[in-house]
Copies of this chain bind each other. A is one copy, B any other.
Amino acid sequence: MKIDVRKFNLSDAEIPRQWYNIAADMPNPMQPPLNPATGKPATAEDLAPVFPMNLIEQEMSTEQYIDIPDKVLEKLLIYRPTPLKRAYALEQYLKTPAKIYYKDESVSPAGSHKPNTAIAQAYYNKEFGIKRLTTETGAGQWGSALSFSCALFGLECKVYMVRVSYDQKPYRRLMMQTWGGKCIPSPSQETNFGRKMLAEDPNCPGSLGIAISEAIEDAVTSKDTRYSLGSVLNHVMLHQTIIGLEALKQFAQINDYPDVVVGCVGGGSNFAGISFPFLRDKIYGKQVKVIAAEPTACPTLTRGPFAYDFGDTAATTPLLPMYTLGHNFMPPTIHAGGLRYHGASPLVSQLVRDKLIEARSYDQLTTYEAGILFARTEGQIPAPETCHAIAAAIEEAKLAKEEGIEKTILFNYSGHGLLDLTGYSKYLEGDLTDFTLPEEEIKRAIAAISDLPRI
């Protein structure tokens, strides 16, 4: 039998040794983050109580390539390089002439791409003498990735998990505990802000904004402690580029190159990870279509204005230049919790603005339909977030069929859905709702941030 090769593995020795920093190649310079008190560009000192200086330097770096430290490589090798896979069965089902590839980031122990930066952040904090990290988590993907990474470097990890998720998703919490992370429901009695919220409402269900505020307060008031963020910031995008750098090597080995690169976008980190190395080629003249797939329930890139906004609901961060629906915007509770972010990475935002990236939005029902089709053809059950990338890839494959063109499509399989199956069940039972944001709500959200400086 002639084998149709489905999986393209790099050997451990072929793992990339540097991250790619797209800030070095941006056709238009990035706007700086602003200190909201002064209105002037934020300085390294502004960030020092929250992050270690070595990560702040990376956040501000314009070096094109940055070496991955040996001890980070050693831990990334637990699950990297990840396989590039060809979705033959999906292609056959769609009767498309397109070749569909996906980069499988679900093979990490935490089940998503998140450890790519969690490992790096744990390492840099440890190097800087930090003994304890705090963070927030919504659905739990980021909290489990950071707990896993802290276990590898012997750091303490404290995760403030939104209470409603803490109660509804016990498995994510148990993962964190198994790795030694301490996970508590937010609001908690352990911070001033948490106590204040509980005094106002003892049954407060919590929110990502409250959890971020608690985690930052804990970090800046505790000894040898810093805060860790799983998306949005430049250094997070940087750490994720190992995904696309590996994919470039894998395509070179099979003498192919994608015509289309797709990722889903919440804060933007898995999307940046797969796409930035290809966008580098595009900036230097290569033809490649890059698609950012977001939910119609939170259409930041497709509908939001480009403005200076806070990264968190509590308005404690520097002002970041990004597409945003406003830091007080509360997206509907779609199952793809990781895409419910009011803004988007400043790097991704700038590249959308510069038309190097095309943003599209997909409604919840379309994405679950795509996820079910993928599970029943290719076998793996994708995370609800990942279903957005699959929906876009399927749309492109159908287009290729209409046009009769043999395209090569690559999407990022950012995580598995094994701990997020409730949405599938609801979809199959016909109980799932489309949460596409109505026009008037988008207008209301944008009107609410009319005071923010537009760019």
Contacts and interface: CB of A to CB of B under 8 A. Distances in A.
B421 A174 contact: yes
Contacts of A372: 178
Contacts of A74: 4
Nearest to A426: B174
A422 interface: yes
Contacts of A77: 3-4, 6-7
B5 A177 contact: no
A166 B3 CA distance: 39
A60 interface: no
Given A73-B3, A79-B379, A175 B12 contact: no
A419 B78 CA distance: 21
B424 A177 contact: yes
Interface in A1-38: 1, 3-7, 9, 11-13, 15, 17
A177 B3 contact: no
Given A3-B15, A11-B9, A381-B109, A428 B152 contact: no
Interface in A277-315: none
A422 to B, nearest CB: 7
A5 B11 contact: yes
Interface residues of A, number: 47
A78 B3 contact: no
B6 A13 contact: no
Interface in A33-78: 70, 73-75, 77-78
A378 interface: yes
A222 interface: no
Given A3-B77, A5-B12, A175 B381 contact: yes
26 contacts: A3-B15, A3-B77, A5-B11, A5-B12, A6-B12, A6-B78, A7-B12, A78-B379, A79-B379, A89-B152, A109-B375, A109-B381, A151-B376, A171-B171, A171-B419, A174-B422, A175-B418, A175-B421, A177-B428, A178-B375, A178-B421, A178-B424, A178-B425, A178-B428, A179-B376, A418-B418
